[in-house]
């Protein structure tokens, strides 16, 4: 079923790098928008100046470019509903804030930070928590207590104030969430949240609602941590006389143990990234990113898509197109999704196997360039095809293939002990003579010739091949021997055999 006029937004606050939970939220918004031919919006929510972090906005934009999540309207691209940065929309909010006072849905409050701290610690001393709410607002320092005229006079005299939402005293709110179904809340359990400050800045709640309304957002798809804000948001829409969008609160990403929210600390402890790309904070401290750890962007996206959603089939590997086709909010799980770092690697491995050798070779070439390793005349795509089964990341490919690029100067001691018997030097010398006379050095041809020689001389096949491998690779591992020598070529093969004869000491 297609839904019309879908407009969704991802609304990060530039307070630091984007957690992968945030990327998943953006991804679900994106899939939903694309599925229904809708619009995907990036809106930067930077009204909390105290939490602003230099570079965070640029980081977020760059991370999405890497992942392939595209926005139709954004600070970069513009659009008909801009500006898309809340600090640039500052003038819009005060007029709406005043409307809430006029309609009796908000009130001015003058309580100072010190007073509120005092109330909080007094309550704490009695093992209670202080909430500014319908139960006590009449006894606090606000226009509900002193009257609107007196309040206006104090404001005219330049007194600092905030606007608070006047939560209905005793009402049961019955709300609907696409993921969770019916959600009921008693308004008596809610506090009177601050909506606006006399500095002229709205808080998150007010700016978010006004912008979602003005930007004609049809569906608010966001993390579960915002579920407690849904009652206030629904009440704000009602107070303004606006239709509320539909809500879908996504399950949390949980630690690998399943206990609690996945945090940066878990990643540091267990050695996996919790950010899409590397983040260097203003103090110069580095945090790992999936991009820098060698994940393919599409594998990363595939892995995230399945943390909290499934297609209802056994299928696990999805391209972005397939995800768009299969995605629905109805199939998003209610319960938290446990993050499994091993599964993340598994996804990358699947993409390693399924990506073309040419594509991986291009990435591998960059790594070799960085290491200053020459690969002139070597068929990188062919090398990749021989070893990629054993690699999760392009970075692993070199560990599996270094012997194509360098002549061994050392020989693995254990393998020498096990595989280099007394007669090995003589066998290798004979093998060298055999190979010297081979003109066609293709894998098939050398294999036929060498095997024919082994059979004719009735040599022990395993013994010969093991010594051969040790001579060429310097260890007991690697892909098919004849594939290796066809790539390194005849001269290099003969050189390595001679080196082994001269240098391996039993």
**Which CB sits closer to ligand GLU, 230 or 337?**
230
**Which CB sits closer to ligand GLU, 9 or 432?**
9
According to DSSP H, which parts of 36-147 are helical? 56-67, 90-102, 113-125, 143-146
Spatial separation of the C-alpha atoms in residues 352 and 333, rounded to whole Å: 29
Contact 248, 329 (CB under 8 A): yes
**Which CB sits closer to ligand GLU, 88 or 407?**
88
Taking the complex as a whole, the smallest distance from the CB of residue 285 to ligand GLU amounts, in Å, to 22
Tell whether omega for the bond before 83 is within 30 degrees of 0, i.e. cis.
yes
What is residue 14's three-state secondary structure? Answer: coil
What is residue 17's three-state secondary structure? Answer: coil
Taking the complex as a whole, the smallest distance from the CB of residue 11 to ligand GLU amounts, in Å, to 4
- Quick count: other Cβ atoms within 10 Å of Cβ 181? 9
Catalytic residue among 90, 99, 197, 264: 264
Phi-psi domain of 465 (left: phi exceeds 0; alpha: psi -120 through 50; beta: other): alpha
**Which CB sits closer to ligand GLU, 25 or 287?**
25
Spatial separation of the C-alpha atoms in residues 501 and 346, rounded to whole Å: 41
Q: What is the Cβ-side half-sphere exposure of residue 125, based on CA atoms within 13 angstroms?
A: 6
> What is the distance in angstroms between the CA of the first residue and the CA of the last residue of the chain?
73
**Which CB sits closer to ligand GLU, 45 or 483?**
45
Contact 397, 388 (CB under 8 A): yes
**Which CB sits closer to ligand GLU, 222 or 432?**
222
- Phi then psi for residue 231, to 5 deg, are -55, -45
Taking the complex as a whole, the smallest distance from the CB of residue 67 to ligand GLU amounts, in Å, to 17
**Which CB sits closer to ligand GLU, 45 or 266?**
45
**Which CB sits closer to ligand GLU, 45 or 144?**
45
Q: Is 264 a catalytic residue?
A: yes
Give me the residues paired with residue 286 across strands: 280
- Quick count: other Cβ atoms within 10 Å of Cβ 120? 14
Spatial separation of the C-alpha atoms in residues 503 and 500, rounded to whole Å: 5
The one-character DSSP state at 219 is E
Contact 73, 82 (CB under 8 A): yes
Taking the complex as a whole, the smallest distance from the CB of residue 234 to ligand GLU amounts, in Å, to 13
Contact positions vs ligand GLU (CB under 6 A): 11-13, 45, 204, 208, 222, 226
The dihedral of CA 197, 25, 339, 310: what is its sign? positive
Which of 210, 243, 200, 178 lies closest to 45 in space, CA to CA?
Answer: 210
Give me the residues paired with residue 7 across strands: 39
Which of 483, 477, 422, 479 lies closest to 450 in space, CA to CA?
Answer: 483
Spatial separation of the C-alpha atoms in residues 1 and 328, rounded to whole Å: 10
**Which CB sits closer to ligand GLU, 245 or 425?**
245
| Chain centroid to CA 356 | 24
Contact 334, 251 (CB under 8 A): yes
Q: What is the Cβ-side half-sphere exposure of residue 14, based on CA atoms within 13 angstroms?
A: 23
List the catalytic residues.
Answer: 264
């Amino acid at each position: 079923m297609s839904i019309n006029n879908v407009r969704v937004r991802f609304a990060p606050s530039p307070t630091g790098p984007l957690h992968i939970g945030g990327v998943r939220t953006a991804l679900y918004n994106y899939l939903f928008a694309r599925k229904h031919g809708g619009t995907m919006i990036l809106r930067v929510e930077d009204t909390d100046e105290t939490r602003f972090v230099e570079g965070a906005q640029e980081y977020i934009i760059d991370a999405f470019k890497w992942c392939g999540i595209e926005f139709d309207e954004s600070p970069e691209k513009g659009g008909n509903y801009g500006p898309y940065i809340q600090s640039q929309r500052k003038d819009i909010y005060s007029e709406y804030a005043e409307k809430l006072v006029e309609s009796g849905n908000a009130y001015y409050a003058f309580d100072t930070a010190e007073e509120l701290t005092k109330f909080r610690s007094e309550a704490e001393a009695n093992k209670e928590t202080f909430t500014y709410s319908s139960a006590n607002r009449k006894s606090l320092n606000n226009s509900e207590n002193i009257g609107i005229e007196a309040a206006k006079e104090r404001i005219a005299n330049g007194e600092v104030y905030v606007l608070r939402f006047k939560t209905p005293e005793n009402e049961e709110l019955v709300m609907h969430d696409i993921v969770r179904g019916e959600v009921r809340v008693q308004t008596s359990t809610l506090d009177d949240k601050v909506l606006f400050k006399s500095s002229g800045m709205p808080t998150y709640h007010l700016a978010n609602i006004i912008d979602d309304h003005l930007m004609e957002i049809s569906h608010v798809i966001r993390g579960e941590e915002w579920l407690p804000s849904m009652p206030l948001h629904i009440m704000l829409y009602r107070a303004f006389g606006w239709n509320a969008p539909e809500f879908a609160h996504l399950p949390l990403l949980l630690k690998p143990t399943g206990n609690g929210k996945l945090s940066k600390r878990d990643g540091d402890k267990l050695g996996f990234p919790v950010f899409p790309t590397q983040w260097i904070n203003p103090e110069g401290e580095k945090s790992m990113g999936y991009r820098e750890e060698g994940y393919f962007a599409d594998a990363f996206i595939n892995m995230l898509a399945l943390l909290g959603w499934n297609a209802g089939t056994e299928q696990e590997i999805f391209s972005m197109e397939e995800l768009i086709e299969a995605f629905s909010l109805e199939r998003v799980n209610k319960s938290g999704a446990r993050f499994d770092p091993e599964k993340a690697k598994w996804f990358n491995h699947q993409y390693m196997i399924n990506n073309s050798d040419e594509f991986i070779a291009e990435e591998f070439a960059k790594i070799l360039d960085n290491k200053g390793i020459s690969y002139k005349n070597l068929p990188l795509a062919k090398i990749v095809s021989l070893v990629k089964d054993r690699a999760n990341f392009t970075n692993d490919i070199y560990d599996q293939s270094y012997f194509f690029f360098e002549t061994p100067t050392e020989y693995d001691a254990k393998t020498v002990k096990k595989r280099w018997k007394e007669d090995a030097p003589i066998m290798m010398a004979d093998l060298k003579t055999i190979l010297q006379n081979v003109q066609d050095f293709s894998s098939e041809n050398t294999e036929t010739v060498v095997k024919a020689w082994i059979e004719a001389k009735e040599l022990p096949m395993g013994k010969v091949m093991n010594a051969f491998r040790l001579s060429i690779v310097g260890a007991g591992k690697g892909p098919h021997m004849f594939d290796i020598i066809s790539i390194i070529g005849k001269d290099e093969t003969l050189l390595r055999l001679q080196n082994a004869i001269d240098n391996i000491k039993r």
